[in-house]
Amino acid sequence: MDLLYFAWVREAVGVGHETVDPPEAVRDVADLVRWLATRSPGHAAALADPARLRAAIDQRFVPLDAPLGDAREVALFPPVTGG
């Protein structure tokens, strides 16, 4: 599974992209966030407060309780601030 991070999430994690293979028990985006937070202190800092995070699966916005299904690309980022 390809992971993408943007804005301060990317900065805190330390990379904008990584490929991971989460275990079976990781079923939805919130599970993935909890699992990723154990990977490094940077991940832990970026993902500590899920309320500050938004997500997309295969380039569509989803809520954090969305099932991962057979997602190829998951992105984690702060609320958007364009315009």
Partner 1 sequence: MIRVSIDPAPIELALELAALEARGAGGVASFTGVVRGDGGVTALELEHYPGMTEDALCTLAEAAMARWSLFGVTILHRVGRMGVGERIVFIGTAAAHRREALDACAYLIDRLKTDAPFWKREWRGDSATWVEPRSSDAEAAERWQA
**Interface positions with partner 1 (CB under 8 A):** 4, 6-8, 56, 59-61, 75, 77-83
CB atoms within 10 A of CB 55: 21
Nearer to partner 1, 8 or 34 (CB): 8
Nearer to partner 1, 27 or 58 (CB): 58
The DSSP call for residue 58 is T
| Tokens linked to 28 | 């939805």
Q: Smallest gap, in angstroms, from Cβ of residue 54 to partner 1?
A: 9
Residues paired with 56 in a beta bridge: 61, 75
Nearer to partner 1, 4 or 37 (CB): 4
